[in-house]
Amino acid sequence: MKLNTEKNMEWPTILDEYEKLVFRMTTPRVMIDNAGCSNATRVMIDSARKHGILLEAVQVLTDLNLSIKKAYISCDGQWFMDVFHVTDLDGNKLMDESVISYIKQSLGRTYYANSKSYDGLTALELTGTDRIGLLSEAFAVLSDLQCNVVEAKVWTHNGRIASVIYVKESHTGFPIEDSQKIDRIEARLRNVLKGDNDIRSAKTSVSMDVTHTERRLHQMMYADRDYERKLVTRTSNDAPIVSVMNCLEKGYSVVNIQCKDRTKLLFDLVCTLTDMQYDVFHATANTAADRAYLEFFTRHTDGNPISSDAEKQRVILCLRAAIERRTSEGVRLELSTGDKQGLLANVTRTFRENGLNVTRAEISTTGESALNMFYVTDARGNPADSNIIEAVRQKIGWSDLKVKEFPLINHQKVDTDEPTAGVGGAMLLSLGSIFRRNLYNLGLINSYS
């Protein structure tokens, strides 16, 4: 009996150690360092490998509007080691302890929640052919049906439009749950999207589910196959360069990308690869001046690299589309005013009456205040005439609608110790080089030369 008692006394300790081991193996370990790099804050993450884990980490950083200057992704068996060099949009290190604490807590979870809560709102999803005045008509329908727009994001690309709009009942402030009203909303918005020539591809849906808005926009435009449509002509400096090569001896497909740098670029690319069912095993991202250079070692979730030229071309087109969808075209207008019923319908109607087309929009409200951002061009997609912009401002209100410069990413402090890709974006680093370089950047070896 004594022996059995001693064994029984030992079990809780054994279980406790086992639980600790499981916790350490399944919970990401996060370290944030402001001393190791002179011009950026280093965010280091060790985590168990699973599909989508890289996207979730990048999502946390980009949702805070942080600029990722460099990134090194390494996979060792079932374990990821990620390093991100980040700054704020002004190019400064992260010094706010509350932000640092939030990053640690968010990245340290085994499941990353959406950074913004849309509980109590109804989500409307719209896709169709873009045309001047479309947004004005959609907001007019919502105003007429007594739907108050709380948040919204609108993207356009290759003649297509996708939007996620969060609304609530104007008179109660509650989500829209009346099935008949939901049917009316869908029917009227579908008629707006159809116009005269988009009977088949126009789509509307209503959802109570909470999702990451920008990821959902990528999914909607991918499902709409915007990447296959006629490409908008771009200058050679702005056109993204994407190449895909197979490293068959190691079983990887290697994706190289050169493009103009901007915020949330890494998120857009990783999001697209993830939703196309590709896993990223190793990757590097580097910025120099206003350019970004990225390389991904990927496999399909079935464990195979890209197996056909058709699939390779599809990946290239989809990644180009992911880069271009968020590219800011046109004059950036910022509307800051008190929120009221019909505000968006009135503002976008003024845009339409003056021949302005909205290429991208972000709508947000806080309490009784509205802060809305619009990128506008003329009807042909060219920069809007300054006289027309001033006439629109006079109509809406000089103090309410202001012309804002495009958000600038500070590149002056970025060092360029990484090699840049060659012409065509076809620089292919050997797998051994990737391993050594990433181990060096993780601080695990003294040199990768």
**Residue range 110-127, pLDDT digits in tens:** 555 554 557 789 999 999
Contact 327, 262 (CB under 8 A): yes
**What share of the chain has pLDDT > 70, as a percent?**
79
Q: Is the pLDDT of residue 73 over 90?
A: yes
Task: Report the amino acid identity of residue 430.
Answer: S
> d(Cα 194, Cα 182) in Å, to the nearest integer?
18
| Nearest in space to 287 (alpha carbons), one of 409, 371, 201, 433 | 409
pLDDT digits (tens, 9 = 90+) for 332-388: 999 999 999 899 999 999 999 999 999 999 999 998 999 999 999 999 888 899 999
- Name the β-bridge partners of 284: 72, 295
Q: Given the structure tokens 């996207």, which residue do they identify?
A: 55
- CA atoms within a 13 Å half-sphere pointing along the CA-CB vector of 141: 19
pLDDT digits (tens, 9 = 90+) for 189-231: 999 998 767 656 788 998 766 679 999 999 999 999 999 976 5
Confidence of residue 250 (pLDDT cuts 50, 70, 90): confident
Mean pLDDT to the nearest integer, 263-268: 96
pLDDT digits (tens, 9 = 90+) for 174-183: 999 899 999 9
Tokens of 158: 């290759």
**Taking the CB of residue 410, how many other CB atoms lie within 10 A of it?**
15
Q: What is this structure's pTM?
A: 0.84
The pairing of beta strand 67-76 with beta strand 79-87: antiparallel
Domains and CATH numbers, the chain: 28-108 (3.30.70.260), 122-229+328-404 (3.30.70.260), 241-325 (3.30.70.260)
**What share of the chain has pLDDT > 90, as a percent?**
63
C-alpha to C-alpha distances, 321 to 188, 240, 280, 315, nearest whole angstrom:
29, 9, 19, 10
Mean pLDDT to the nearest integer, 75-85: 87
Backbone angles phi, psi at 440, to 5 degrees: -65, -45
pLDDT digits (tens, 9 = 90+) for 391-405: 999 999 999 999 986
